[in-house]
Homo-oligomer: A and B are copies of this chain.
Amino acid sequence: MKALILAGGKGTRLWPLSREAMPKQFIKVFSDRSLFQKTVERALIFSKPKEIFVVTNKEYRFRVLDDLNELGLKVPEENILLEPVGKNTLPAIYWGLKVINDNYGDSVVAVLPSDHAIEVNESYMEAFKKAEKLAEKYLVTFGIKPTKPHTGYGYIKPGEKIEVEGKVLGYLVDEFKEKPDLETARKYVENGYYWNSGMFMFKVSVFMEEARKHSPDVVKAFEEGKSIEEIYELAPEISVDYGIMEKTNKAAVVPLNTYWNDLGSFDAVYEALEKDENGNAVHVTGFKAKYINVDSRNNLVLTERLTATVGVEDLVIIDTGDALLVAKRGETQKVKEVYKKLKEENDERAIVHRTAYRPWGSYTVLEEGERYKIKRLTVLPGKRLSLQIHYHRSEHWVVVRGTAKVKVGDKEFILRPGESTFIPAGVPHRLENPGKVILEVIETQIGEYLGEDDIVRLQDDYGR
């Protein structure tokens, strides 16, 4: 079985926890593994590393590479398909299956979204084995057995059962249902409908035939486009559900009885996390951060600082150091309006976190003021930043941890913890970690203009 992981989602509903440059599949708030990494681990149950393919946005290339690298996995870089622009799930899946077909011929492929939470249990293992068999003839969806009449999920109405060699492997899909109101959701659950998990099992040949039948414009884009940019320009923006699954008569559903949560809003995140005796789901990270609760109940509190709540109930409180969100539980779908407003105002906090990831490591903006900006740079062992010049700012580097090799103008020297150097504006410079452990540097920038775009790269190891 091959695996195709969908990792191009932008996830604007969990702002400020996720940002455009770092969507929820890559953040590590809920555990020390990202949701993407956990999806890769699930794919490894049935597939070898080289049989795992990823479709993502070109912006997320280093996120995917870093996450795979951290897992110590040798997924070939050709298996990572970089979309020039997001066109929803159908073009992404079509591309992925086409590449898998080119590499391995006609194959059965598990299609896995990478931003959900799901538990692997016996039912999961069995369902995937059943789905693999069914995929020879059907386009297979996975239907989660509901634990309550949830109004935030789509539902699948199962039809006639499909037996193979005297064993029920699944059901024909009678109908896909949009998110219902509460009363309708109750009826769905009573009548044995399933939650639509967004996972699929497709055999390439079966899928391609149905794609040609129901979404010929997608197929045409891939046949006529001469480059992936051209293909994605031609392709319509369309989901696999709308473009194929709801139209084909080959849709089948395999029931799956396990914990599943789409983490599609902070309400869903609250549901997914463990609660204390007062019903509070609390997650505190960061230096000197802590949470003090006075008479507060049923809140979601994710914070990087000292946070106190007094007498509040049913709130979502998200503090990411550079931004704070306080929302009413049950209304968190409106969080995307905050994101929209920030985008309208060209506020970069819609797009980036305090911490931004780079091929050489990461930097965190600790503080900004008029005429100064302070960053913590983390450089991975053996990596170096580009040889660069800034015209409008001087920079001051103080080493906190590790060993730095520094080039300033013609000079090259080593800095150890507690040592520092000064880079005047206009002077070429480079920071390198020649050591075996992480290098941490505090950078103070001073100048009239401190934008990230005041940079001229003279040489770069990453072709930027």
Contact = CB atoms under 8 A, between A and B. Distances in A.
Contact of A324 (B307, B347, B372, B422): B307
A425 B418 CA distance: 9
A424 B341 CA distance: 47
Interface stretch (A134-142, A211-219, A441-449): A441-449
Contacts of A447: 418
Contacts of A338: 292, 294, 308, 310
Contacts of A328: 310-313
Contacts of A461: none
Interface string A155-179: 0000000000000000000000000
A309 to B, nearest CB: 5
Contact of A398 (B313, B324, B446): B446
A238 interface: no
Contacts of A309: 325-327
Contacts of A305: 322-324
Contact of A417 (B311, B319, B335, B446): B446
A435 to B, nearest CB: 16
Interface stretch (A70-78, A183-191, A363-371): A363-371
Interface in A433-455: 442, 444, 446-447
A98 interface: no
B444 A294 contact: no
B446 A444 contact: no
Interface of A: 16, 287-288, 290, 292, 294-295, 303, 305-313, 315, 317, 319, 322-328, 330-332, 334-335, 337-338, 341-342, 347, 349, 366-372, 374, 376, 394, 396, 398-401, 417-420, 422, 424-425, 442, 444, 446-447
Given A292-B341, A394-B418, 13 more contacts: A292-B338, A294-B337, A294-B341, A305-B322, A306-B323, A308-B323, A310-B338, A324-B324, A367-B367, A367-B374, A369-B400, A417-B446, A418-B424
